[in-house]
Amino acid sequence: MSAGKILVVDDEAHITHVLALKLRNAGFTVRTASDGEEAFELASQDPPDVLITDLQMPYMTGLELCIKLKKKPATAQIPALMLTARGHALGESDLQSTNIRMVLSKPFSPRHVLEEVERILGRGGAAGSGDGGGAGTEKEAA
């Protein structure tokens, strides 16, 4: 049985590939998209339990994707985990108009991403939590 449905969005195929493998190994059902538009289509068809998205992407940025998803009733509740190489590019108002629960800066640790996904889904205290996972600066979303 699947631990949950995750949608991973990044224009770097290596990143979606590695995250998908990490999450599948942990029992999740994972779909991937390479830009915001594609992700919006997938999320609208079958809303995931958690969205993991990059910030800078062609066509539609991760932030635009999250804002658009929050405006649509069917997808308004999807919690999001943002991965970005520019950790401080998001302001409070950006976070308030989205469901972004956590911002992790690149380079990130797949281990850490898995922990955060489990925490968002209310399965906190997963094994290995607290080791920091080698991720860079992070920002707890309000």
Partner 1 sequence: MAMGSGIIANGVVCAAAAAGAAACAWLSLGALSAWSEGARLGVIGAGAFAGAAAALGALMSVRVGAEKRLIARLREAAGEIDPLSFPASLRSVAVAARDARRAWGAREAELAARLREAEVRANISEADRQHGEAILNTLRDAVIVTDSFNEVTLANAPAARLLGFDLDGAAHKPVDEVVRDEELRRMIEDVRRSGVVSKTKHAEHTLSPPQGGSASFDVTIAALPGAKEEVGGVVTILRDVTREKEISQMKSDFVSQASHELRTPISSINAYVEMLLDAETQDEAQRQEFYGVIKGEAERLSRMIDNMLNISRIEAGIVSVDRVEVDFAKLIRGVIETMAPQAKAKQIMLVEKIGPLIYTAESDRDMMHQVVMNLVSNAIKYTPEGGRVTVAVENDDASRSVLVSVSDTGLGIPPDALPRLFEKFFRIENYKRVAKGTGLGLNLVKHIVETVHRGQIGVTSQVGMGSRFWFTVPFEFQGG
Span 28-87, contacts to partner 1 by CB under 8 A? 34-35, 58-59, 85-86
In this complex, which beta carbon is closest to partner 1, that of residue 47 or of residue 59? 59
In this complex, which beta carbon is closest to partner 1, that of residue 17 or of residue 123? 17
Residue for token pair 């489990």: 118
Largest Cα–Cα separation, the chain? 38
φ and ψ of 19, to 5 deg: -70, -40
Q: How far is the CB of 139 from partner 1 (least distance, A)?
A: 16
Q: Evaluate whether 109 touches 133 at the Cβ level (below 8 Å).
A: yes
In this complex, which beta carbon is closest to partner 1, that of residue 56 or of residue 94? 56
Span 4-23, contacts to partner 1 by CB under 8 A? 11-15, 18-19, 21-22
Q: How far is the CB of 106 from partner 1 (least distance, A)?
A: 4
Binding partner 1 (rule: CB under 8 A), the pick from 106, 121, 138, 139 is 106
Query: Contact positions toward partner 1, by CB under 8 A?
Result: 11-15, 18-19, 21-22, 25, 34-35, 58-59, 85-86, 106-111, 134
